[in-house]
Structure 1
Amino acid sequence: MRCIFLLCLLVSAGFSATLKGDKIERKIVAEKALHQARNPIDDVIRDALELVRQLMLNGTDSTPVLDPFFIEYLLVNFESQDADLLLQVDNTWVTHMAEFIIENISTNMVRLTMELALSLPNFNIDGHYAMDGMIMNLFPLYGSGNYYIHVFDVSLGGGAGLSVGVPPQIRDLHLDFTFQSLEVKFENLLGGGSLETVIETAINALAKDVVDAVWAIINEPFCQLIEDTINQALANMGGEGTDSPALADSKEVGNANAYLDEVLAELRQVLYQTPGVDPKTLPDAYTEISGGHAAIYNGWLIGLSSIHRSADATLDYAGRFITFNGSAGYTNMQAGYRVQVEVWGTGPDAEAFALIRSVDFFFSFKIDAITGAVTVNDFNIYNIGQIDIEINGLAPFDWAFESIAELIIKTIKDDLSQTISTVILELLRQVVEGNPPPPPPAAEILKIAF
């Protein structure tokens, strides 16, 4: 990937430059660098998608809020070999749609297409339902009340046509929708006899139909908002104050948000594929308690591959070197331990669960524009938030809960600090080294001493 960083071409065998007095002609260097820059349309589209996120959450006078998205009424008629059900849902809210992750943007100026891939960790559908029908053509199944459907691991992939004019525009955007799993709850569901397996299968299949119907409603305004926002951004290309991040003021706050999002998207894949990272084994620990001791063992942690940007990022170009500052972190990671308590020779085996509400860290990298080498300037874990502890099976030694909880929290915090400051930071550095930032503005390129 480093070869896409323009200035690295200076040391590659295929680079041709004009020499004057044993010096590389700077004009040629600048032209080469700008020519090899990442597609500026991709950068504009990425920035536009970040604006889409804000518009979904806040809306404008002419743009309705899409997160949360309200559906007043929806009727789903479900038929299968096991069930015949009619479901009516009212006052439904769809939330977390704006938390999409930009996985890929690719415009092809030959085929005149734009490919777009987004993902969602999850989104929620909540509302009121009324259901009536039959299971196995024999048993009634009915009910009314609140319901929810939580949808996990969503992929949104598709694309649009691209017209190359002044300005360029996209058209006919479409996004295909898939997901991996659901969590479903219909309150006050009655009937069906003892056919629990059949009921569960039918309800899950019905929930999938509801999700598909909800997406069919959201799809059009969502795609239209994306298309309109991207086209407006493309129309502004080159206008005052509308430069893409690649040519933005090098000290503008947030000028590297899109780049950091791109880096973290790749880092998530690296972390997911690295053995021993997610899930991660936590170390055993031991503490004295009144009359005995408590030990925690078989610890695990899930969520290190869910890293995301947690604050604005910046790129500061200064001659040969680029300073890349950013913040990243985690929310709602989960952990667990087996717990052994022994007091006067006896005690229970219990199980503990932990919810780590938030973790955030700051990093600063120094990037050599010529060699592509990345070194760490600064690093600081500035937040390890609340950790909630639940221990099951501790009775009658509940009085030891506080000591055990403190031991678990301390062990998790120490291990997280060590892991983030070594493994995560190093993998992040490697990803940045393999995915260089946008090239500096032309004025900065000409300042580089070769």
Structure 2
Amino acid sequence: MEYIPNILFAVVLFLGIGFFAKNVKKLIRNIKLGQDKAVSDNKSQRWKNMAMIALGQSKMVRRPISGFLHVVVYIGFIIINIEVLEIIIDGLAGTHRIGLSVLPQSVYGFLIGTFEVLACLVFIAVIIFWLRRNVIKIARFWKSEMTSWPKNDGNYILYFEMVLMSLFLIMNATDVQFQALNSGNVISQFMAPWFSGLSEGTLHFIERGAWWLHIVGILVFLNYLYYSKHLHILLAFPNTYYGKLQPKGQFNNLEAVTNEVKMMMDPNADPFAAPAEGAEDDVPAKFGASDVQDLNWVQLLNAYTCTECGRCTSECPANLTGKKLSPRKIMMDTRDRLEEVGKNIDANNGEFKDDGKQLLGDYITHEELWACTTCNACVEACPVSIDPLSIILEMRRYLVMEQSAAPVELNNMMTNIENNGAPWPYNQMDRLNWKDE
């Protein structure tokens, strides 16, 4: 009988971690549906970006208030969860505060005291976040794409964090032996009087209840991440590592098109010559992207990493002037479509069955794509190196090169360049006529 709690704890831990591993496997599978992309260059710069942006939160603090609060929650939540290691050992071995057995009391007290201060700061920061989101109603949290689930998801995670921090402090406040040490109870000593009228047995019951709820809550939180925008807690690190290193204004060119243009400009080239023996045909099966499988795997990683913070949309000039484009919605739509494709594969024994839908048209409209000015404001604003512009450009490329569906104005411009060598409707002899008007 005495080992039943240990066995129960092991089962809960196994199920929690097992379900999380299953979702991670599904996540990796979905990301790998994207096209291959080489990102093995300049590793030192990539490690630096990950350290500065994901770990150091360097882009978050560009907006001081929300940035500071986010740093408090981020650092506090990560450091506090170091105690999860002690909880796991205690739960499996049947011990109580194993840290006191392996560390000097002063060191253990310093650690727990630090955790308590951070827990209190996290709780306060989360309340401020909740007020900003639900009372002050900052505009970027209430855009049209923030429907019921995205809007509620942000609140759910705040409630999660408030409950977990409260359980940690209650666990310490009702631990009679810990309070008797008078070391490390920096915050919980002020909460202990709330339970002063209770018997030692009742205190033990509350302490054990808070202990169990705390570890189960962490496991639930861990598995909730896959369904939440807070997946960026884990994916921000690989996403910033694999982020774009080229200058923000540098567009990519299709090698097949570049080679074709070079051949057209080479007077010695034979357009009818057969390719050299062993040479591969580098013409892609499709120009641009109409669905998530046409995007590269880094872009799909971007979609899963999106924090839905809205910084990109709040700085998008097209959105600010009332157009339908929202870079945040582009990423949310990409992730939603990718999840839909993943579920399709699961339902069809590992094979994708055409569902008559695609990212372009069913999720993202032509109007949204052509509203983009390609100014890169969204890319600069993103705190975790997401690149919505690259997805917009790939879908534009598909519209132009596969469907000839460019706007009339753009078609006129390209026709003028072809006929007149300039975007204006004047031949070369009349190009300066504007000065006489």
TM-score under structure 2 length normalisation: 0.25
Q: Which of 1 and 2 has higher RCO (CA within 8 Å, sep 6+)?
A: 2
Q: Which has the higher helix share?
A: 2
Q: Which has the higher strand share?
A: 1
